[in-house]
Copies of this chain bind each other. A is one copy, B any other.
Amino acid sequence: MHSIDTMSALVQPHQVHRDIYISQEVYRLEMQHLYRNAWIFVGHDSQVAKKGDYYTTQIGDQPVIMVRHSDNEVYVLYNRCPHKGTKIAIDRQGNTGKFFRCPYHAWSFKTNGCLLAIPLKKGYEGTGLGETESAKGMKPVGAVKNHRGFVFARLAETGIAFEAFFGDSLSSLDNMVDRSPAGRLEVAGPPLRYMHKCNWKMLVENQTDTCHPMVAHESSAGTAVKIWDEMGNPEPRPMAMQIIAPFMSPYEFFEEMGIRTWPNGHGHTGVHHSIHSDYSAIPGYFDAMVASYGEDRTRAILGENRHNTVYFPNIMIKGPIQQLRNFIPLAADRTLVESWIYRLVDAPDMLLARTAMYNRMINAPTSIVGHDDLEMYERAQEGLAADGLDWVNVQRLRTGPEDFDAEAIENGTTERQMRNQFDAWVKFMAPQPAAAARAAE
């Protein structure tokens, strides 16, 4: 039987216990602690562009609504009527006008959650309803932060502050947004929704697992290269080949790519270059950028080719192509992956077309590359049931003690970022220091 006190025993510097992946008890503890204490991605504010627009989603296992209030701010409320618990909204998105109205007994609430009206209100005179939590309306989550359009929330009332949690890792998010001449992104269509019968952490670890592509994706990328060969390598290579071929890059490529880790479990691959480096230039884009930023700044922005940036605990972004993947934990052995793409405002459509192609080619339930990966995850979820070995190894390129509170850049094939995530996992599974709490006020 697991309890919050036994969690740290599941993580050793060089290996982690399989229960972290297969125990439903550990999953429940993650929902109660990790997903309450950490800052979790909720959505993009362009999904709720107009006042009254709302979007229903979840934080960990908590149903929430992201909504644009009349003060034009984005609020995140628990999707739960304070009367009898009915979900206020079920549609994935919509516009509720000036207020929410519960469909069961028509209690209504302002779009910041405050109770607005109760039909036949006199029925509550003298009942003391005013003293109950119910009278306060729809409860907001502990804290919300809209960082350049990306909305994050912390369920816990108190805890680490947004800036303290993400620190310099925000540079990846900023670079993704800076790539818009207008410095703004807009969500482009609905996300892919891909169900995985495995633990959510396997997916997060895979984002910086640079030793698997040439092996696991040989079937897709390798075959693509082979066919192209047979066709005599005609140039220019179409977008599809530009996207899929780099998955077959040799180990050296990934070693030199480099990996950077930041405190609190964040990190990214592609410090020096990435599989996105050699995408052919899109006519008109560079000029549009220069017009906005000037040439030096433009070169600096586009010079970054970070591959995958992991924001602990459960999202990954690809700055160069404006993609965000959300690894939503549904159970110890069940994860829903949403893959979102964004439009660079004022940039040529062709960039978005390439991003859309990347998304469907690599991350769709129908994607051959996706099939390669999912097969590995589901095999591992089943394999970990074997008593042969209780531990999962994460010690590649760990030659001594590591300090994860310090930013570091290492060889691109290190598993340090996986270790960094587990260091943060232990930290945010534990009760949070009051100090941090105060800091957050």
Q: Which residues of B contact A139 (CB under 8 A)?
A: 386, 388-389
A383 touches B80 (CB 8 A): yes
Contact with B along A74-88 (1 / 0, CB 8 A): 000111111111111
A174–chain B nearest beta-carbon distance, Å: 32
Complex Cα gap A265–B417 (Å):
53
Interface residues on A, range: 35 or more
- Chain A binding surface SS class: loop
Contact pick for A386, options B62, B255, B389, B398, CB 8 Å = B62
On chain B, the residues within 8 Å of A126 by CB distance are 399
Complexed CA–CA distance, A255 and B258 (Å): 72
The answer to whether A124 and B395 touch across the interface, beta carbons within 8 angstroms, is: yes
How far apart sit A250 and B414, CA to CA, in the bound complex (Å)?
69
Contact with B along A136-151 (1 / 0, CB 8 A): 0011000000000000
One of B129, B386, B393 near A134 (C-beta < 8 A): B393
Question: Could you tell me which residues of chain A, from 392 to 430, have a CB within 8 Å of some CB in chain B?
Answer: 392-393, 395-399, 411, 413-414
Assess A379 versus B127: contact at CB under 8 Å? Given A120-B211, A384-B80: no
Task: Give the residue name and chain of the B residue nearest to A375 (CB).
Answer: B103
Asked if A376 CB lies within 8 Å of chain B CBs, one says yes
Residues of chain B lying within 8 A (CB to CB) of residue A255 = 120
A90 contacts the other chain (CB 8 A): yes
Query: Is the Cβ of B393 less than 8 Å from the Cβ of A84?
Result: yes
**A78–B125 CA distance with the chains assembled, in angstroms:** 50
B380 touches A155 (CB 8 A): no
A90 to B378, CA, bound (A): 11
- Decide: A413 near B90, CB < 8 A? Known: A62-B385, A398-B127: no
- Picked from B82, B124, B134, B215, the residue with its CB within 8 Å of the CB of A103 is B215
Is A216's beta carbon under 8 Å from chain B?
yes
> Please, how many angstroms separate the alpha-carbon atoms of A62 and B383 in the complex?
9
Q: State the CA gap A132–B395 with chains docked (Å).
A: 10
Nearest-CB distance from A213 to chain B (Å)? 10
A18 contacts chain B at the CB level, 8 A cutoff: yes
User: Does any Cβ of B come within 8 Å of A237's Cβ?
Assistant: no
| Distance between A392 CB and nearest chain B CB, rounded to angstroms | 5
Enumerate A14-62 residues with CB–CB distance to B below 8 Å. Answer: 14-15, 18, 21, 61-62
- Measured CA separation A81–B389 after assembly (Å): 9
Determine whether the beta carbon of B63 is less than 8 Å from that of A129.
no
Which residues of A336-394 are within 8 A (CB) of B? 375-376, 379-380, 382-389, 391-393
For the complex, give the distance between the alpha carbons of A41 and B323 in Å.
Answer: 50
Nearest first, the 6 closest Cβ-Cβ pairs linking A and B are A78-B388, A139-B388, A80-B386, A87-B379, A87-B383, A85-B384
Q: B-contacting residues of A (Cβ < 8 Å)?
A: 14-15, 18, 21, 61-64, 77-88, 90, 103-106, 119-120, 123-129, 132-134, 138-139, 155, 209, 211-212, 215-216, 251, 255, 375-376, 379-380, 382-389, 391-393, 395-399, 411, 413-414
25 contacts between A and B (CB under 8 A): A14-B128, A15-B132, A15-B134, A62-B387, A63-B383, A78-B386, A78-B388, A80-B388, A81-B383, A82-B389, A85-B380, A85-B384, A85-B389, A86-B383, A88-B383, A90-B375, A103-B215, A104-B212, A119-B211, A119-B251, A123-B211, A123-B411, A127-B397, A133-B391, A134-B393
